[in-house]
Amino acid sequence: MVEKIQVVGQDKSNNLLLENKLINLIGSNIFTLKRDSFNFMDSENFIKDYNVQKIYPNQIKVYLESAEAIGIIKYLNELNILGNNGKIIYLKNLPTKLPVITGTNDIKKVFQTMEIIKKSNLNIKNIKKIDFFPSERIDIEFKNKIKIKFPIKLSIKYLNFAMRLIENEEFNKSKVIDLRIPKKVITNDQ
């Protein structure tokens, strides 16, 4: 029978909040307790992942992995923080070194785009801004003030190609690199 539940991995108030939500498990049979009993944690914005450990004979310990900020979404003049769990997270202070994302409020689309960027050779820390357009394409502006216009089908291949262009002496002096036309690189130095 479960007598004690401990949550670790967050600040004291969040740990306590989750322990209180789990209080109904006290008195449950520890052997028949299923992961489904903890599914509500998937809806908590501040959690990326969690692991439940049964400590026999009577204790449950829940280990939490915090969601981390990966971007700031600007929508209708409000700034929202996107976490690496694909959800809007709430932080006391607005992060300053994350890319600002404009032009969409589709969290799923933004998260998928950020995941593609993460898998490429581009470093998210070097990105200043990501602009989404109704046509389903994006522009990425880097902290070094270079803007790259990507075609509609964003892929790791295009992102890695853009990285090679930025590193190339011939292209890194350009302010805008346009990759929207297949097999063409158009630059603008203004």
Digit-coded pLDDT (tens) for 27-47: 999 888 888 888 888 888 899
pLDDT over 70 (residue 84): yes
- pTM to 2 decimal places: 0.79
* Domain segments of the chain as ranges: 4-66, 69-188
Q: Residue 169's pLDDT is what?
A: 84
Name the residue type at position 171.
F
pLDDT tens digits, one per residue of 6-18: 999 988 888 998 9
Q: What is the mean pLDDT of the chain?
A: 89
CA atoms within 13 A on the CB side of 30: 15
Residue 76's pLDDT band (cuts 50, 70, 90) = low
Say what the alpha-carbon torsion angle 163, 165, 170, 173 is, to the nearest 10 degrees. Answer: -60
* 69-188 carries CATH number 3.40.50.980: no
- Residue 187: Cβ-neighbour burial (10 angstroms; 0-12, 13-18, 19+): middle
Whole-angstrom Cα distance, residue 70 to residue 114? 8
pLDDT at residue number 96 = 79
**Closest-CA residue to 5 (of 64, 65, 55):** 55
Secondary structure (3-state) at 40: helix
